[in-house]
Structure 1
Amino acid sequence: LFLTVIHFLKYFYTASSGIPNFPSYVSVGLVDDVQISYCDSNINRVIPKQEWMNKVSSEHPNYWKEETQTCRDKQQTFKISLEIAKQRFNQTGGLFILHLVH
């Protein structure tokens, strides 16, 4: 007899411009709607948000380094995408937010 357990992994990515005192990029990871990680353009690294996430590095020593690089790469991609959207909509000033749930 096998028992199957299903979990849901989601990431929220947000790029913005024109918002004072707010990071231009934020990434949040969730498992079953519980936050597990956080990264933004101010800190430029991924922070585990659950104690059990700290144990990942014992099995995969480069995990946090790789996740941080992924965060930085996505930050650049979203920054470019936001600039392209601003150009296409002929909007150079004001508040802009690009949000993706994956």
Structure 2
Amino acid sequence: YTASSGIPNFPTYVSVGLVDDVQISHCDSITNRNEPKQNWMNKVEEEDPGYWERQTQICLENQPSFKADIDIA
């Protein structure tokens, strides 16, 4: 996770999933969606319907606490 503040045209929150140093997913405060970054990750939804929606909800739920941490710092 990365949180930022006051940087024009840059999300205040970014979450990136990695496997073996390869990015497999991405979510940020601009798109407000957790999305696959590897074609094979699209197949997750076949095995686990609703996976990307659940991951998006986690992303959205994490954003306020990261913003609060930035505001406190």
For normalisation by structure 1, the TM-score amounts to 0.69
Tell me the matched-pair count: 73
1-structure distance, mates of 2:50, 2:72 = 33
The structure richer in strand per residue is 1
Q: Cα RMSD over matched residues?
A: 0.7
Q: Structure 1: state its 5+ residue gaps.
A: 1-12, 86-102
1:14-33 alignment runs, 5 A limit: 14-33=2-21
The structure richer in helix per residue is 2
| Aligned sequence identity (%) | 67
2:56 matches 1:74: no
Quote the offset at 1:30 in angstroms.
0.4
For normalisation by structure 2, the TM-score amounts to 0.95
Runs of 4+ in 1 over 6 A off after TM superposition: none
Greater RCO, 1 or 2 (C-alpha within 8 Å, sep 6+): 1
Q: Structure 2: state its 5+ residue gaps.
A: none
Quote the offset at 1:80 in angstroms.
1.1
